[in-house]
Amino acid sequence: MNRNQFLDALVNREVFLKDLIKKLTGSFDENRQLYIRKQHGFLRYYKGDKYLGDDNLDTIRDLCQQEYCCKLFSTAEDELKTVRKCIAVLKGNGADISSVFEQLPEIIRKHVRPDLVGYKNLVAAFQESMAKRPRMYMNYDEGIKTERGDYVRSKSEVIIANMLYQREIPYEYEVRTYINNQVRYPDFTVLNRRTGKIYLWEHLGMMDDPAYCARNQIKVEEYAAAGYIPGDKLILTFESSTVTLNTHYICCIIDHYLK
C-alpha cells in the first residue's frame, strides 16, 4: 500500500466513523445508572438502587444495549480524532518514499528500477484495493464493451480504456473515491507501475456545453483542493462536438504519466 492508498483508506475510515457516530447519537441515556453488583456469590443488575430481577429482563437488555452504544460512541469519537490527525499529517507533510523516484533527474531515472520499496507488488495491491471499492451503477445494455471486457459509457472512453489495456497500464473505471469527504466516481483510476503513483483521469467530452463546462470547472477545483492537481495527480482530456478525441494526444499522456 502506497501513501495515496493509505490516505484513501483513512478517508474512508473517517467517513465510516462519522456515520457511526451520527447513528449512535441519542441511542443511549447518559444517566442510565446501570450497576452490576456481586451479592452472595451472584452478579446482580441494578438501575440506581433498584434491583432488576428476571421479571425486568427487557429493562436489563435495554440498559446493557445502551451501555454498549455509549462505549462504542466514545471509542468511535476517540478513533475519529486519531484518524483526522493522521490525515492532517499525511496531507501536510510532503515526504513520501514513492516520490523519490519521480524527483530524480530524467537522466538518472531512466536507468533506475525502483524495486527496493516493493514496487513489484504494486499492481496486485492496486487491484486488491480497487476491488473493494463500489462502482457507479451502469446499465450494461447501454454500455460499450472494451477490449478488456468491462463496460464504459462513451466511445471516447472505450478508446482511452483500450489504449491503457494495450499498454498494460492498470486501470479501473468509475470506482468510488472520496474527495474532501464527498463521494466521486472519476472516469478512470490508473496506476504507474514503475513509480506506484495513482492518478485520477477525467475525460470531459462535452466542452461546447456551457452548463457542462461550469459543472466540471467546479469538479476540477474540488479535486485540486483535495490535492489532485491537474497535471500532477489528475489527468484531464477534452473533447467537443467539433474537436474529437486525438489518439496521438492520449499516447502522449500515457507515455508522460504512466510509462
Q: Is 244 helix (H, G, I), strand (E, B) or coil?
A: coil
Query: What pLDDT, on the 0 to 100 scale, is given for residue 39?
Result: 82
Query: What pLDDT, on the 0 to 100 scale, is given for residue 103?
Result: 74
Q: Cell 478517508 identifies what position?
A: 11
Q: Report which residue type is found at 229.
A: I
Q: Label residue 195 by pLDDT band (50, 70, 90).
A: confident
Q: How many domains does the chain have?
A: 2
Mark whether 227 and 252 lie in a shared domain: yes
Mark whether 85 and 110 lie in a shared domain: no
> Does residue 32 sit within a domain?
yes
Mark whether 238 and 151 lie in a shared domain: yes
pLDDT digit string, tens, across residues 162-191: 999 999 899 999 999 988 888 999 999 999
Query: What pLDDT, on the 0 to 100 scale, is given for residue 186?
Result: 95
> Does residue 29 sit within a domain?
yes
Average pLDDT, integer, range 103-114: 73
Which alpha helices (H) appear in the chain, and where do they start and end? Answer: 3-24, 57-92, 98-103, 106-109, 122-131, 155-166, 210-225, 247-257
Residue 193 contacts residue 251 (beta carbons within 8 Å): no
Average pLDDT, integer, range 3-32: 88
Mark whether 55 and 110 lie in a shared domain: no
> Which range of residues forms the domain containing residue 198?
98-257
Mark whether 154 and 244 lie in a shared domain: yes
Whether residue 96 is predicted with pLDDT greater than 80 in this model: the reply is no
Average pLDDT, integer, range 150-171: 94
Cα within 13 Å of Cα(207), Cβ side? 13
Mark whether 154 and 39 lie in a shared domain: no
Q: Record the pTM.
A: 0.57
Query: What pLDDT, on the 0 to 100 scale, is given for residue 115?
Result: 60
> Does residue 8 sit within a domain?
no
Mark whether 85 and 213 lie in a shared domain: no
Query: What pLDDT, on the 0 to 100 scale, is given for residue 99?
Result: 66
Mark whether 59 and 140 lie in a shared domain: no
